[in-house]
């Protein structure tokens, strides 16, 4: 069975600080996808990144970076020089390639509050 754990339920930082959101996953499949979604206060779910299990290269997109480590089953997300607009709930998710219908299993989310 697949499972995603985001141990940090809430994080509060001051603007311009760096912050890392942790994500640990469990799966028996060797082929799977990992995702991060952002849910700002307006409520929509915004796709940030997808990573497949065969690609352990870290990725950077502007102030966002992701560190995927299969050895520790982790897919952590770092925001550099955080801004107030980064305040949101962030979800990590897992999809096993073998599952019918591309079902996503979400972690419980981490609420990030960036204070000015």
Q: Which residue ranges make up the site for another protein (CB under 8 A)?
A: 33, 35, 37, 39, 43-45, 47, 50, 89, 91, 95, 97, 100-106, 108-109, 111
Q: How far is the CB of 99 from another protein (least distance, A)?
A: 8
As given in the structure block, the two tokens for residue 8 are 């940090």
Q: How far is the CB of 53 from another protein (least distance, A)?
A: 11
Whole-number Å distance between alpha carbons of 59 and 31: 19
DSSP per residue, 38-54: EE-TT---EEEEEEETT
Q: Which is nearer to another protein, 17 or 108 (CB)?
A: 108
Q: Which is nearer to another protein, 85 or 100 (CB)?
A: 100
- 3-state DSSP assignment of residue 71: helix
Q: What is the DSSP letter of 9?
A: S
CA 90 to chain centroid: 6
39 and 89 Cβ atoms separated by less than 8 Å: yes
Q: Which is nearer to another protein, 16 or 108 (CB)?
A: 108
Q: How far is the CB of 111 from another protein (least distance, A)?
A: 8
Q: Which is nearer to another protein, 15 or 64 (CB)?
A: 64
């Amino acid at each position: 069975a697949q499972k995603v754990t985001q141990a940090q339920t809430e994080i509060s930082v001051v603007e311009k600080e760096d912050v890392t959101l942790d994500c640990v996953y469990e799966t028996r499949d060797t082929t799977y996808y990992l995702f991060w979604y952002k849910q700002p206060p307006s409520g929509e779910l915004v796709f940030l990144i997808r990573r497949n299990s065969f690609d352990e290269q870290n990725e950077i997109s502007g102030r966002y970076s992701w560190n995927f480590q299969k050895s520790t089953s982790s897919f952590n997300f770092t925001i550099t020089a955080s801004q107030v607009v980064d305040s949101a709930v962030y979800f990590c998710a897992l999809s096993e390639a073998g599952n019918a219908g591309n079902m996503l299993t979400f972690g419980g989310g981490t609420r990030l509050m960036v204070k000015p």
